[in-house]
Amino acid sequence: MGNTKPITAAPVLSDRVRVNGVETPVTFTAEEGILRWRENCLSIEKEVLGITVEGSKIKIRAIKENDGGGIICCGGNTGGTVRRRSYNLEMLSEDSLRIWSQKLHEFIDSLGRPKRLFVFVNPYGGKRSASKIFIDSVKPLLDDANIDYTVQETKYQLHAKEVAKSLDILRYDGVVCVSGDGILVEVVNGLLEREDWDSAIKMPLGVVPAGTGNGMAKSLLDAVGLPCTASNATLAIIRGHKQSLDVATITQGQNRFFSVLMLAWGLIADIDIESEKYRWMGSARIDYYAIQRIIRLRRYNGCIKFVAAPGYETFGEPADPEGETISEVKSSFAQHKGYCGPALQMKDFNRKIEGPFVSVWLHNVPWGGEDTLAAPDAKFSDGYLDLVVIKDCPKLTLLSLMTELSKGGHVKSPHVLYFKVKALVLEPGTQLDDGSKEGIIDVDGEVLARGKGTYKSNYKTLMTYGKLHIKVDQGLATVFSPSTIS
């Protein structure tokens, strides 16, 4: 009881107002940020979106638990749990109007909410519904919150990256991606390739789920028990809570790519990328192609070397230190003006797992998509990546494991190695049963490298199918989140 606040905390303001023609007392308690009149009680931080003055009235736009009244919030995209509401408090004097509007605005300003946002909308991703989601679910809430925003529809792949590289970051309090995960990844890469990357990457990034893969939005919202909806994600952005996010740097020679979600090689990458040929089937294409790939299971030669996180040093086998140093890789970036990634020393890579492999899956956040809990123990800013490795597994067991992905049960299987690493070297090889064919490396839902004989192997990729160095930089980026998450 020692920490309980007294119920009779002194209000900062107390006055009489007119609501619907009826005069009634109203109080605003500063310590809790609570506004009360008659049967109404509003939390400024959690429920009030914005306040404007219209004549002698203070108009309060808010969200409330669904009580059967008000405007349905965002076409029902919140799962029917909250509604947009509007309240008009008519002040009885000009002094009251001035004092109340000033105090309420000061309190909202003290919450650190964004006032100006740059919004990317990807009209081509997923079910091509991002534009409608923005109009129906995002725009009304931003308008209610008095947020100024600039909207940029992406017109082609890497458009968002180009814009992020030249964006005047001083004009905005955050960048919002109304899309799947792809636009977020482009923005991170664009910000980190700037000369002023160290200040640019501090720009808070918001993610509104509107694509095929919504792993980041799902991870952020699920961490606090919220459904993965466009309105819940938008409310998190409006409230302005921020969360640090680890960023992985993948390097190969002079090429680099910054990842915030995952890297896959083997079964998961093959299913994700090769199932695109069945895109006409919708989301069912993943399950359909997964069965095909398991029936005709591929295993890949190769090796992974890693720096284990504390507590995971017994995974794998001892690895002999190599003469190679990543300082060579780092120095090759001298011509680049952006972020080069953390320094690496090959002597630190003292553990290894040799193939053949069925699947290697590296994750930065728990959810790979809205229905794939790939790495249940992953944290947003712990400075480690979660590694999920399958070396061998009976086909029927593997089919069963795939059904466990939606709740993370796959990591409990004796056929699955699941542990945390600080850094990783991936040395991908050929298919065990056909040495003339190689594999696909999938990073954040896009192909990073295609080997010989793979799906669309003639397409150009950023990196070649060869050795990759991966290291994570703790808390490098910042995302808007429902609350601070570990």
Task: Name the residue with higher pLDDT: 192 or 68.
Answer: 192
In whole angstroms, give the CA distance from residue 24 to residue 88.
Answer: 13
Mean pLDDT computed over 169-188: 96
Mean pLDDT computed over 226-251: 96
Evaluate if residue 438 carries a pLDDT over 80: yes
Evaluate if residue 328 carries a pLDDT over 50: no
Evaluate if residue 71 carries a pLDDT over 60: no
Q: Average model confidence (pLDDT) for the chain?
A: 90
pLDDT at 30: 82
Q: Which helix H or strand E contains 253, and what residues bound it?
A: none
Band (pLDDT 50/70/90 cuts) for residue 121 is very high
Considering the candidates 181, 270, 272, 442, report the single residue annotated as catalytic: 181
Evaluate if residue 405 carries a pLDDT over 50: yes
pLDDT at 484: 65
pLDDT at 322: 64
Evaluate if residue 109 carries a pLDDT over 80: yes
Q: Dump pLDDT digits (tens) for 272-321.
A: 999 888 877 777 788 899 999 999 999 999 999 999 999 999 999 998 87
In whole angstroms, give the CA distance from residue 169 to residue 398.
Answer: 47
Mean pLDDT computed over 47-63: 95
Q: Dump pLDDT digits (tens) for 42-53.
A: 999 999 999 999
Whether 434 is catalytic is no
Evaluate if residue 470 carries a pLDDT over 70: yes
Task: Name the residue with higher pLDDT: 138 or 80.
Answer: 138
Q: Dump pLDDT digits (tens) for 342-380.
A: 887 878 898 999 999 999 999 999 999 999 999 999 999
Task: Name the residue with higher pLDDT: 266 or 39.
Answer: 266
Evaluate if residue 151 carries a pLDDT over 90: yes
pLDDT at 486: 54
pLDDT at 11: 64
Q: Which helix H or strand E contains 460, and what residues bound it?
A: none
